[in-house]
């Protein structure tokens, strides 16, 4: 498994009030590659809880296969990994355990 970082493109619209990232690497899905998107560290200070909202959109595999004509495999799921750290440099991608998705989105 190869973990890739910094392959996401920021696609936010000015004034939207939220950040949008995009990735289109469907042709590489069969190689077992992982595409990680790291968010900014959130200073907790005296916070008792943190709430995170993730909105996502995925093309269906059927739509992708018709559009690009290559067939192959397609993943329609994603995993969320949350870790409390003191510094960003504490996060070593080679030590991150694999977290299996609990749901498949179709």
pLDDT of residue 35 exceeding 70: yes
pLDDT tens track for 46-97: 878 877 777 777 766 666 554 455 555 566 667 777 776 655 554 555 555 5
pLDDT given for residue 40 in this prediction: 74
Domain that holds residue 36: 1-97
pLDDT given for residue 106 in this prediction: 44
pLDDT tens track for 10-21: 888 788 888 888
Classify 32 in phi/psi space as left (phi over 0), alpha (psi -120 to 50) or beta: left
Domain contains 106: no
More reliable by pLDDT, 14 or 41? 14
Number of independent structural domains in the chain: 1
Domain contains 16: yes
Domain contains 105: no
Domain contains 103: no
Domain contains 104: no
Domain contains 102: no
Q: Which residue shows structure tokens 């749901």?
A: 103
Tokens linked to 75: 């993943």
SS (H, E, C) the chain: CEEECCCCEECCCCCCCCCCEECCCHHHHHHCEEECCCCCCCCCCCCCCCCCCCCCCCCCHHHHHHHHCCCCCCCCCCCCCCCCCCCHHHCCHHHCCCCCCCCCCC
With 0.85 as the threshold, say if the pTM is over it: no
Give 4's strand partners.
Answer: 35
């Amino acid at each position: 498994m190869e973990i890739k970082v910094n392959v996401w493109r920021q696609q936010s619209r000015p004034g939207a009030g939220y950040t949008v990232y995009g990735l289109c690497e469907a042709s590489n899905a069969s190689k077992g590659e992982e595409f990680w998107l790291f968010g900014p560290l959130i200073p907790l200070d005296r916070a008792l809880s943190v709430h995170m909202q993730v909105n996502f959109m995925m093309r269906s595999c059927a739509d992708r296969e018709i559009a690009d004509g290559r067939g192959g495999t397609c993943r329609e799921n994603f995993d969320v990994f949350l870790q409390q750290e003191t510094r960003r440099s504490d996060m070593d991608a080679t030590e991150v355990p694999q977290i299996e998705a609990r749901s498949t989105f179709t």
